[in-house]
Amino acid sequence: MSNIATEPFAAVEIITAKRDRKVLSDPMIDWVIDAYTRGAVADEQMSALLMAILLNGMNANEIARWTQAMINSGERMNWSMLKRPTTDKHSTGGVGDKITLPLAPVVAACGAAVPQLSGRGLGHTGGTLDKLESIPGWRASLSNAEMLAVLDSCGAVICAANASLAPADKKLYALRDVTGTVEAIPLIASSIMSKKIAEGTGALVLDVKTGSGAFMTDPDQARELAHTMVRLGLAAGVKTVALVTAMDVPLGLTAGNALEVRESVEVLAGGGPSDVVELTITLAREMLAAAGMSGTKDPADALKDGSAMDVWRRMIKAQGGDPDAALPVAKHQQQVLATSDGVLANLDALSVGVAAWRLGAGRSRQGESVQAGAGVELFAKPGDLVKKGEPIMTLHTDTPERFERALEALDGGWSIGEKAAPRLPLILDRITE
């Protein structure tokens, strides 16, 4: 701990300023982020400040300064030695959202470099690193030199963020998780963008999910978050655009780890579910345009001609994985059968996500292990004809005692009727400012 007498501020004066709806000055923000990172501000004090921010908000200048202070708490990566322009994508997460897996190789096959620093899942939303770790031998943790080598040789790298990247965010994220302050838009936006800006990419496309399976269930809130993040990126000199996309129904036909890898490989092989293919191609075109490369090869062609698959195989090998190895399969399966003939009217993303989580595909707290083979495999999406007794989905787990709780999560989460219920369009909005 530091000597309080030598600090330029006391934490309590910053807490009370925000409690009383005052605007925090740049020096206040710089100090409180730095002091919390080095332990001069206690958790209970920062908790009080986070709650005041949740309740009273921040203006655009405060959010920008808060984000910059978190970037300044660690290193900023530099890819200027690469021969290709860098571009990246961040998704706010959802159910069956395996888009990063085919997307990074597609964009690399079209000529850009993709330094994709990803995370692990928590709760019902899956983590990219957990999915990839179901591939035998694949490593998530790379040194900066290893990242650069994979990026240089393959055009894409998907790996864990270095601990020295925005360390203030790691501390704040853990605190928000246990203090009921996760939902504050200024804190969400600064958390995401501090890491993405520190990552050093020249262009960034944000995939902001909305619907029952998303973090932001309300489309208007999702738009507000997208606008806030785009402005932060542009202010930091990163060409940034956001798409608001649907997460009322799971993406694709799988939610889990190895199950989603298998589906991603199907997409890279020129097949796969139409919604996964469409979103991959749409985001790839946005990433290339943001990097100033929209006139190069089209992403749809990279899927058709095998060049994206070639990048995938090289990238997996470069990180110690075996792209030809059999993926893990759960020891136990249980089918959920249609109760009547008709049309699958709805399929709630949150219900499927919670079921996959309870089957072992996700974790309740950071650091828990996950089952590589666990998850939910779908055989129908809303609008599809189904017949009584045929499978709607298969549940996968290594621990069969989990089936009961997973089935409870699915109860009421799907129904059969005469026609499909209204759904969100796959792309709701495109935000550039």
Alpha carbon distance 136, 327 (integer Å): 7
Contact 142, 157 (CB under 8 A): yes
HEC string for 171-237: HHHHHHHHHCCCCCHHHHHHHHHHHHHHCCCCEEEEEEEECCCCCECCHHHHHHHHHHHHHHHHHCC
Nearest of 324, 316, 387 to residue 101 by alpha carbon: 316
Task: Name the one residue in this structure whose structure tokens are 């995938």.
Answer: 312
**Residue 167 burial (CB < 10 Å; 0-12/13-18/19+)?**
middle
Residue 316 neighbours by CB distance under 10 Å: 24
The residue ranges of DSSP E strands in 7-113, in sequence order, are 87-91
Question: Which DSSP category does 358 fall into?
Answer: I
User: Among all residues, which ones are annotated catalytic?
Assistant: 90, 169, 176, 191, 195
Paired residues of 89 in beta bridges: 205
Cα 191 to Cα 35, 116, 128, 242, distances in angstroms: 17, 16, 18, 16
254 Cβ partners below 8 Å, 6+ apart? Answer: 96, 98, 260, 262, 263, 375, 376, 377, 378
Structure tokens at 20: 């009383």
